[in-house]
């Protein structure tokens, strides 16, 4: 049996580098205006500009940290490997293909459950409902062909 692979990625419009650039551009105007008001003697405006910049930094940092998240599923003759990466943390689970059951999502928004010998992993959080249903059918078919 040949190796089968599926890659489910987060749909992000900005890379981490582009996010940093957008953050810099977004914070430039409030900080510049804050500096102008400091020059005029109104220190409080700069404090609000710094608070706004700090809040934007927290949001952009979270976005950049999770922009490269993905789920990678690899099926070989002896192993169904599920690799999930979230925020730089890698979680790998290996199932025996002949004992693995694919639970198709019963309702909209539900994830695909892979179950084998008391272990359960839910995948498909980066796919739309139709893609998730198609992936579950394709994975189930590939597992049945592997048996």
Average pLDDT, the chain: 91
Cα separation, 92 vs 74, in Å, equals: 11
pLDDT digits (tens, 9 = 90+) for 104-139: 877 888 899 999 999 999 999 999 999 999 999 999
| pLDDT confidence tier of residue 1, bands split at 50, 70 and 90 | low
Residues 24 and 80 grouped into a single domain: no
Q: Based on the domain organization, do 92 and 107 belong to the same domain?
A: yes
Query: Has residue 25 got a pLDDT over 80?
Result: yes
Domain count, the chain: 2
Taking the whole predicted model, whether its pTM rises above 0.75 is answered as yes
Tell me which H or E stretch contains 7: strand 4-9
Instruction: Tell me: do 62 and 74 sit in the same domain.
Output: no
Q: Do 124 and 101 share a domain, yes or no?
A: yes
Please give, one letter per residue, the 3-state secondary structure of 69-125: CEEEEEECCCCEEEEEEECCEEEEEEECHHHCEEECCCCCCCCEEEEECCEEEEECC
Write out the two tokens for 105: 């999502």
Same domain, 122 and 74: yes
Separation between Cα atoms, residue 82 and residue 92, nearest integer Å: 6
Query: Are 39 and 104 contained in the same domain?
Result: no
pLDDT band at 12 (very low <50, low <70, confident <90, very high): confident
Q: Average pLDDT, stretch 57-83?
A: 91
What is the Cα–Cα distance from 143 to 73, expressed in whole angstroms?
A: 12
42 and 78 fall within a common domain:
no
Containing structural domain, residue 55: 16-66
Distance linking the first and last C-alpha atoms of the chain: 10
Higher pLDDT, 87 or 1: 87
Binned at pLDDT 50, 70 and 90, residue 57 comes out as: very high
Last residue of a domain, one of 30, 49, 66: 66
Residues 108, 138 within the same domain: yes
Confidence of residue 20 (pLDDT cuts 50, 70, 90): confident
């Amino acid at each position: 049996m040949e190796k089968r692979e599926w890659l489910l990625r987060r749909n992000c419009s900005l890379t981490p580098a582009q996010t940093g650039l957008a953050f810099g551009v977004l914070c430039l105007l409030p900080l510049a205006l804050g500096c102008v008001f400091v020059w005029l003697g109104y220190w409080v405006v700069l404090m609000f500009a710094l608070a706004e910049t700090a809040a934007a930094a927290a949001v952009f940092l979270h976005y950049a940290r999770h922009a490269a998240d993905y789920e990678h599923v690899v099926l070989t003759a002896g192993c169904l490997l599920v690799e999930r990466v979230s925020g730089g943390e890698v979680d790998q689970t290996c199932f025996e293909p002949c004992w693995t059951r694919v639970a198709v999502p019963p309702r909209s928004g539900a994830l695909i459950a892979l179950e084998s010998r008391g272990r359960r992993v839910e995948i498909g959080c980066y796919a739309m409902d139709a893609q998730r249903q198609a992936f579950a059918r394709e994975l189930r078919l590939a597992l049945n062909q592997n048996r």
